[in-house]
Structure 1
Amino acid sequence: MPRRILDRVNTVLDPWLPEQRLFLKSEDATRFVRMRPLTQAVTLFLAGMLFLWSVIATSLLFIDGISSGGAREQAQIAKAQFESRLDILARQRDQRATEALAAQDRFQMALGQVSQMQSQLLASEERRRELETGIDVIQSTLKRTMAERDEAREKLAAARGTGAESSERLTARIGDMGGTVDLLTVALARTATERDQASRAATAAREEAEQAELDRRLLEERHDEIFDTLEGAVRISMEPLDRMFRKAGMNPDDILSQIRRGYSGTGGPLLPAAISSKGFAGPDADTARAEGILQRLDEMNLYRIAVDKLPFAIPLRGGYRFTSPFGYRWGRLHAGVDLAGPVGMDVHAPADGVVAEAGWENGYGNVIKLRHEFGVSTVYGHLSKIRVRVGQKVSRGEVIGDTGNTGRSTGPHLHYEIRVGGAPINPMTFIKAAQDVF
C-alpha cells in the first residue's frame, strides 16, 4: 500500500519534476543515482525552508542590532536630559536660596521698622498724654485766675462805692490778672496745637504699623510659596535616584552615609564667639524649612557623587547587541553578560574607580579589572587593546580599552561583569535600575 501511494505521488509530480539520474563514473565502473520526483520535491522543500530560516534569522539579528543601537542612543539622550535637569534644578536651588535670603533680610528689616514705628507710636501716645495733662493744668489755672479777676473787679466796684480800698491798687491787680489770663490763653492754644499734631502723628504711625504688618504677612505667604516649590522640586528629583539605588540592591542610607564621611572636611580660623544678652532663641519655622530643603539638596548632591562611583552606565556606546545573558550555561556559571560588536570599539569605564588588574588571564584573554567604591568591582574581558595600567585612577566615561576576540571567545565581543563583595551579580540589575533615571 505505501509503495502504491509513493508511485502515485511520483506520477502526479512527474510533469513538473521529471525523474533525474546522477551518473557517478570511476575508472572501472559507472554508477548512477535515481532521483524520483518525490525525492526532488522533498529536497527542494528542505532547501527552501533552510533559505527562509536564514533570511528570517538575518532580518531578526539586523532589526535587533538597529533597535539596540536606537535604545542606547535614547538612553544617552535621556541621560543628557536628566543631567541638564539636575543642572537646572541646581541653578533654581541657588536662585531660590538667594531669594529666600533676600526675603529674610527684607523680613528682618520690616520687623525692625515695625518695632521702630511702635516705639514712635508709644512715644507719641506718651507725649499726647503729657500735653493733655498740661492742658488740664492750664485750664484749671485759667479758671482760677479768671475767678480771681472777677473777684477783684467786684472788690474794685465795691471800693469805689465805699472807699474801703484804694481804686489804684485794685486796678493794678486786675491788670496783672488780665496779663496772666492772656499768657495762659496763648499757652493753652499752643499746647492744644501740639496735642493735635501729636494725635495726627500717632494716627500716621498706627497706619504705618498696620501697613508694615500687612507687608509682613504678604512676605510670609511669599516665603511659603517659595518653600513649597522648592520642597516639591527636591522631592520629585530625589525619588527616582532613591528608587534606582534600591533596585540595584544598594541601601541608599548606607551609600549616603559613606559618601558623607568621605566629603565632610571642615576648617578655617575660628573667631571669638559673640554672646547676646537677650539669650538664645531657637530657629523659627521658616528657618527650619530652609534647613530641611538645604539638607535634601545636599543629599541630592551626594546621590550624584554616588552615581559617578557605581557602574550604572553601559561600557559600550553605539552599535552592539546582547548575545549572552548572566546565568548558568552548560552547567557552569556565566558570571557576566556578552556585548557583541566589531573589534576596536571603545570600552568606557561605567564609574569612577582604580585599575586593580590589567593584562592577560586564561579564559578572559586581555582583561581589565576596576575597583570601585562600596565593595563594587567590574571586569572587562576579551579585549584587543588595554589603554590603562595597574593603579591608575579612571573617571566615569573614560576609555580604558578596545573590544576584541582574545582568550576563549567565539567572536569579537566584550565580556562584562559586576561583582559586589567579590561575588558576581547580574550586570543588568544595575543597568535596568538606571533606565528610569538616565
Structure 2
Amino acid sequence: MRSRLAMAVHTRLEKRFPEKRLFIRSDTETRFIRLRPSHQLVGWSVASLLVGWSIISTAVILMDSIGAGNFRAQAQRDQIIYEQRLNALSTERDARAAEAVAAQQRFSSALEQISIMQSALLETEDQRRELETGLDVVQATLRDTMQDVKTSRLALEQLAAEPGSAAAGAVMSAQADSTVDLLASALAETAAERDKIAADAQFALDSAAETQLELRLLQDRNDDIFRQLEDAMTVSVEPLDKMFRAAGMNPDNMISQVRRGYSGSGGPLTPLSFSTRGGAPDPNAERANGILNRLDEINLYRIAAEKAPFDTPVKAAYRFTSGFGQRWGRLHAGTDFAAPVGTPIYATADGVVTNAGWSSGYGRLIKIQHEFGIETRYAHLSAMRVKVGQRVSRGERIGDMGNSGRSTGSHLHYEVRVGGTPVNPMTYIRAGQDVF
C-alpha cells in the first residue's frame, strides 16, 4: 500500500518536476549531478519561501515608513494648530486686559464723580437746613412784628381818640408799615432761595441715579470680560497640566522649582493694586490678580516644558525598530529610531552636554543633563555636533544618526533617565504630542 502511494506521488512529481541531470565537464572527465523530483520540489519550496518573505518584509517596511510619515505630519499639523490657538488666546488676553484696565479707570473716575456729587449734595443739604432755620427765625420775627403792629395800631387808635396826638400816631403807623414791608420782602427772597436749593438737590439725586446705572452696566461688562479671560486661562492651563501628569511628573513641584530658579526678563507678573480708601478689598482687583497669576502660571509651564524632554529626537521620516522593555533577557533601556545614516538628531529639551564621545557598546554617545534630575542619551551616532559643557536648546541639532558601537544597522538609540533610572521615552514623547 505504501509503495503504491509512494509510486503515485513520485509519478505526479515527475510530471511537475521531471528528473534532470546537470553535467560538469573537466579536462579529463565528465561528471553529472542528478536532480531528482524531490530535490527540485525542496528547491522550489525554499525559493518560494524566500520570495514570499521578501515581499512581506518589503510591505511591512513600506507600511511602517508611510505610517511614521503620516504620524509626524499629523503631529506637526497639531502643533501648528495649537500654536495658532495660543497666539489667538494671547492676543485676546492682551485685548481683554487692556479693556479691563480701561474699565477700571472709568470705574474709578465714576466713583470720584459720585464722591464729588455726594459732597456737593451734603453741602446743599446743610445750606437747606440753615435756610430753613433762618426762615423759621424770620417767620417768628414776622409774627412778633405783626403782633407789635397790632399792638401799635390799638395804641394809635387810643391816641387818635385823645386831642393833640394825631401827628404822632401817623408817624408811628408809617414806621410800622415800612417794617412789615421789609420783613415780607426778606421772607420772599428766603423762600425763593430755598426752592432753588431744593431743585439743585433733586438734580444731584437724579444725576447720582444715572451714574449708579452706568456703574452697574460697567460692572456687568467687567464681569463678562473677566469671565472670558478666566475661561481662556482654564483652557490654556489644562492641556499643559495634563501633559506633565501624563509623563508621571508633579506639575506643582515643577512649577515651584521653575519659580525658584526663574531668571527671565521682567520676572513674574506684578499684581494690580487699587486704592480702596480704607474699605474692603476691591473684588475686581482680586479677579484681575487671579488672571495675572494664571498668566504667570502659563509662563512657568512654558519654561518647564522647554526644560523637560517632551520633543522627539528625530524630525525626518523614521520607523521604530525596538521599544523600551525586556529584550533577550535584558532591559532595553531606550527606544530605537531607524533612518538613513546622517539623519539629523535634535535635543529634546534645554540642557547642558555632559558627555560627547565614544562609549563602548553605545558607540558615539551624547549625554545631556536637564532640569528636574532628567538626563537624555543619544547613541550610535555617526557624527557629534556639540561639546562637553555646551548649553543646548530644545530642537537644536546635536548630531547625525549612524551605526557606531554594537549596532546592526543605522539607527538612534534614545534614552531618558530620571535620577539615573531609565524610563520609557515614549511616555514623554506621547505627552508632548498631545499638546505640541
TM-score, normalised with respect to structure 2: 0.89
Please state whether the residue corresponding to 1:339 is helix, strand or coil. Answer: strand
- 1:393 CA displacement: 0.7
The residue identity in structure 2 corresponding to 1:288 is E
Contact 1:244 1:433 in 2 (8 A): yes
What CA distance in whole angstroms lies between the structure 2 residues aligned with 1:42 and 1:25? 22
The residue identity in structure 1 corresponding to 2:287 is R
Q: 2:154 aligned with 1:172, yes or no?
A: no
Which residue is 2:100 aligned to?
100
After superposition, what is the alpha-carbon deviation per residue over 1:117-155, rounded to whole angstroms, capped at 9, x for unaligned? 222222212222222222233233333333433443444
Which residue is 2:114 aligned to?
114
- Farther off after superposition, 50-59 or 406-415: 50-59
What CA distance in whole angstroms lies between the structure 2 residues aligned with 1:67 and 1:328? 25
Contact 2:103 2:218 in 1 (8 A): yes
Which residue is 1:132 aligned to?
132
- Farther off after superposition, 316-325 or 173-182: 173-182
RMSD: 2.7
Please state whether the residue corresponding to 2:32 is helix, strand or coil. Answer: strand
Q: 2:291 aligned with 1:293, yes or no?
A: yes
What CA distance in whole angstroms lies between the structure 2 residues aligned with 1:18 and 1:369? 61
- Farther off after superposition, 423-432 or 138-147: 138-147
Pairing 1:334-345 to 2, within 5 Å after superposition: 334-345=332-343
Contact 2:343 2:400 in 1 (8 A): yes
Evaluate the alpha carbon distance shift between residue 282 and residue 137 of structure 1 in structure 2; reply closer, same or farther with a 3 A threshold.
closer
Evaluate the alpha carbon distance shift between residue 3 and residue 230 of structure 1 in structure 2; reply closer, same or farther with a 3 A threshold.
farther
What CA distance in whole angstroms lies between the structure 1 residues aligned with 2:406 and 2:280? 68
Which residue is 2:270 aligned to?
none
The residue identity in structure 2 corresponding to 1:31 is F
Pairing 1:23-422 to 2, within 5 Å after superposition: 23-27=22-26, 28-36=29-37, 44=44, 47-160=47-160, 162-163=161-162, 166-263=165-262, 283-422=281-420
What CA distance in whole angstroms lies between the structure 2 residues aligned with 1:142 and 1:374? 94
What CA distance in whole angstroms lies between the structure 1 residues aligned with 2:278 and 2:3? 111
The residue identity in structure 2 corresponding to 1:353 is G
Identity across the alignment (%): 51
What CA distance in whole angstroms lies between the structure 1 residues aligned with 2:11 and 2:401? 59
Contact 1:73 1:318 in 2 (8 A): no
- 1:215 CA displacement: 2.3
- 1:371 CA displacement: 0.9
Which residue is 2:272 aligned to?
none
Contact 2:321 2:337 in 1 (8 A): yes
Please state whether the residue corresponding to 1:363 is helix, strand or coil. Answer: helix
The residue identity in structure 1 corresponding to 2:146 is M
- Farther off after superposition, 384-393 or 228-237: 228-237
After superposition, what is the alpha-carbon deviation per residue over 1:184-227, rounded to whole angstroms, capped at 9, x for unaligned? 22212211111111111111111122222222222332232222
What CA distance in whole angstroms lies between the structure 2 residues aligned with 1:123 and 1:165? 58
- 1:248 CA displacement: 1.2
- Farther off after superposition, 405-414 or 140-149: 140-149
Contact 2:96 2:225 in 1 (8 A): yes
- Farther off after superposition, 18-27 or 222-231: 18-27
The residue identity in structure 2 corresponding to 1:179 is S
- Farther off after superposition, 325-334 or 300-309: 325-334
- 1:302 CA displacement: 0.7
Evaluate the alpha carbon distance shift between residue 151 and residue 330 of structure 1 in structure 2; reply closer, same or farther with a 3 A threshold.
same
- 1:300 CA displacement: 1.2
What CA distance in whole angstroms lies between the structure 2 residues aligned with 1:362 and 1:107? 71
After superposition, what is the alpha-carbon deviation per residue over 1:279-318, rounded to whole angstroms, capped at 9, x for unaligned? 9656333322222222222111111001111110001102
- Farther off after superposition, 25-34 or 57-66: 25-34
Contact 1:152 1:170 in 2 (8 A): no
Runs of 4+ in 1 over 6 A off after TM superposition: 264-268
After superposition, what is the alpha-carbon deviation per residue over 1:98-132, rounded to whole angstroms, capped at 9, x for unaligned? 33232222222222222222222222122222222
Contact 1:25 1:31 in 2 (8 A): yes
What CA distance in whole angstroms lies between the structure 1 residues aligned with 2:193 and 2:3? 139
Evaluate the alpha carbon distance shift between residue 238 and residue 378 of structure 1 in structure 2; reply closer, same or farther with a 3 A threshold.
same
What CA distance in whole angstroms lies between the structure 2 residues aligned with 1:398 and 1:225? 43
Please state whether the residue corresponding to 1:119 is helix, strand or coil. Answer: helix
- 1:26 CA displacement: 4.8
What CA distance in whole angstroms lies between the structure 2 residues aligned with 1:316 and 1:104? 50
Give the total of aligned pairs.
427
Contact 1:321 1:340 in 2 (8 A): yes
Please state whether the residue corresponding to 1:370 is helix, strand or coil. Answer: strand
What CA distance in whole angstroms lies between the structure 1 residues aligned with 2:377 and 2:83? 27
Evaluate the alpha carbon distance shift between residue 348 and residue 158 of structure 1 in structure 2; reply closer, same or farther with a 3 A threshold.
same
TM-score, normalised with respect to structure 1: 0.89
Evaluate the alpha carbon distance shift between residue 404 and residue 434 of structure 1 in structure 2; reply closer, same or farther with a 3 A threshold.
same
Which 5+ residue runs of structure 2 have no aligned equivalent? 268-274
Contact 2:17 2:41 in 1 (8 A): no
Please state whether the residue corresponding to 2:375 is helix, strand or coil. Answer: strand
What CA distance in whole angstroms lies between the structure 1 residues aligned with 2:163 and 2:347? 129
Contact 1:418 1:424 in 2 (8 A): yes
Which residue is 1:425 aligned to?
423
- 1:18 CA displacement: 5.6
- 1:322 CA displacement: 0.9
After superposition, what is the alpha-carbon deviation per residue over 1:236-293, rounded to whole angstroms, capped at 9, x for unaligned? 211111121112121111111111110169999xxxxxxx9x9965633332222222
Evaluate the alpha carbon distance shift between residue 376 and residue 224 of structure 1 in structure 2; reply closer, same or farther with a 3 A threshold.
same
- 1:13 CA displacement: 6.8
- 1:75 CA displacement: 1.4
- 1:429 CA displacement: 1.2
